[in-house]
């Protein structure tokens, strides 16, 4: 029975797509100007391989990315442009004529179904040198953002009844930790050797405090580390924990809380990359609500997983065979996955 459990865990580990973070993130920035409405969106190299734009991208292809309606009337873009970005990314820009009469407006993303499942775009509508009109996370099932466009002779553009993004950022935080396999494996490697409830509370608390600190600092641009350094360091933390478990032969190492806090600071920079990619806090957009809600979602997702996994670990640790053989075997899986990610993010990047 025990060997079957280990085999199942091993093959489940092999079957998981080994990515650190959800790659399905993008932005759609809508800027309302005096005589036009400009939509700019950037796609990663991975997304471009799926969308397969012609080279160079034609006006028709770029125009097929979005659909903009004002007062029920479909607008045709009067110009399109392509702007190369660092890291083989491309930004596509569409400029729509701004109707003089204004009215309710809706921007719809047309090709989300061609991107990986769960792909999200953080859409933001702003007035040039003015307020934010609307913000929303768009999904394949919810591909549109609504806002109100004022008439050209109005003194200002009125904000519409845009839906709150509290729930969307909460959901994003939960999904991010649930699909952040490297973060989860790091925590699993720490907890699988814990024999006391006190140790478990200390480790989870230190990890939460540490990544919350760097998540906030990085999102506010107080401290930043490039992802090319952060991602390999996250992978290295997993290798370290797995190897230490093997050296300790499944026994609980002393001072794990300090190690957890240190590596938790690194993982926090990884969490922050999500909010930075979504443009949170930039261009006058609100910062505190997305930051708090996203982090709350991460913590709730983490607690939910711990509530399921920890009772299983406690039950298995009652079996001496699991402690002597199972914990080292699982630690090998942890270290091996961490090594895979480390090589993927350095040698094979």
Report d(CA 53, CA 316) in Å as an integer: 52
CB atoms within 10 A of CB 336: 16
The closest alpha carbon to 6, from 338, 329, 241, belongs to 329
Q: DSSP state, 224?
A: -
Instruction: State residue 249's pLDDT score.
Output: 78
Q: DSSP state, 132?
A: E
CB atoms within 10 A of CB 323: 17
Residues in the chain, pLDDT under 50: 1-23, 154-164, 284
Q: Mean pLDDT of all residues in the chain?
A: 82
164: tokens are 């709150």
Per 3-state DSSP, what percentage of the chain is helix, strand, and coil (rounded to 5)?
Answer: 50, 20, 30
| Cis peptide bond upstream of 56, omega within 30 | yes
Q: pLDDT by residue (tens digit) across 320-329?
A: 888 888 999 9
Report d(CA 92, CA 40) in Å as an integer: 6
pTM of the model: 0.60
Positive or negative torsion for Cα 121, 122, 127, 128:
negative
Q: pLDDT by residue (tens digit) across 157-174?
A: 333 333 346 777 888 888
Q: pLDDT by residue (tens digit) across 94-149?
A: 999 999 888 899 999 999 889 887 788 889 888 877 677 888 889 888 999 999 88
Is residue 71 left, alpha or beta, with left meaning phi > 0 and alpha meaning psi from -120 to 50? left
What residue ranges do the domains of the chain occupy? Answer: 2-21+180-345, 25-163
Instruction: State residue 176's pLDDT score.
Output: 82
Q: DSSP state, 250?
A: T
């Amino acid at each position: 029975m025990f060997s079957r459990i280990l085999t199942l865990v091993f093959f489940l580990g092999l079957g998981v797509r080994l990515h650190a973070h959800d790659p399905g993130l993008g932005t759609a920035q809508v800027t309302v100007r005096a005589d036009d409405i400009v939509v700019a969106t950037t796609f990663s190299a991975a997304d471009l391989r799926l969308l397969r734009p012609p080279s160079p991208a034609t006006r028709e292809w770029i125009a097929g990315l979005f659909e903009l309606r004002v007062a029920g009337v479909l607008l045709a873009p009067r110009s399109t442009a392509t702007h190369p970005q660092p890291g083989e990314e491309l930004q596509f820009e569409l400029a729509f004529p701004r109707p003089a009469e204004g009215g309710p407006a809706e921007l719809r993303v047309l090709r989300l179904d061609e991107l990986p499942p769960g792909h999200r775009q953080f859409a933001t509508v702003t007035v040039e040198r003015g307020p934010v009109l609307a913000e929303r996370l768009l999904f394949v099932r919810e591909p549109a953002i609504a806002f109100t466009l004022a008439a050209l002779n109005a003194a200002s553009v009125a904000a519409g009844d845009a839906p709150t993004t509290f729930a969307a950022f909460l959901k994003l935080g939960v999904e991010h930790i649930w699909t952040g396999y490297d973060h989860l494996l790091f925590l699993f490697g720490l907890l699988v050797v814990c024999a006391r409830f006190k140790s478990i509370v200390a480790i989870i608390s230190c990890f939460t405090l540490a990544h919350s600190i760097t998540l906030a600092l990085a999102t506010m641009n107080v401290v930043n580390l490039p992802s090319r350094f952060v991602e390999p360091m996250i992978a290295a933390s997993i290798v370290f924990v797995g190897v230490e478990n093997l050296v300790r032969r499944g026994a609980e190492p002393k001072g794990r809380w300090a190690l957890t806090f240190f590596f938790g600071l690194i993982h926090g920079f990884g969490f922050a990359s999500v909010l930075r990619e979504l443009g949170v806090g930039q261009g006058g957009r609100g910062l505190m609500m997305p930051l708090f809600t996203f982090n709350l979602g991460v913590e709730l997702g983490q607690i939910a997983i711990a509530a399921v996994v920890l009772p299983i670990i406690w039950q298995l640790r009652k079996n001496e065979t699991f402690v002597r053989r199972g914990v080292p075997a699982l630690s090998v899986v942890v270290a091996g996955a961490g090594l895979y990610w480390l090589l993927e993010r350095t040698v094979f990047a």
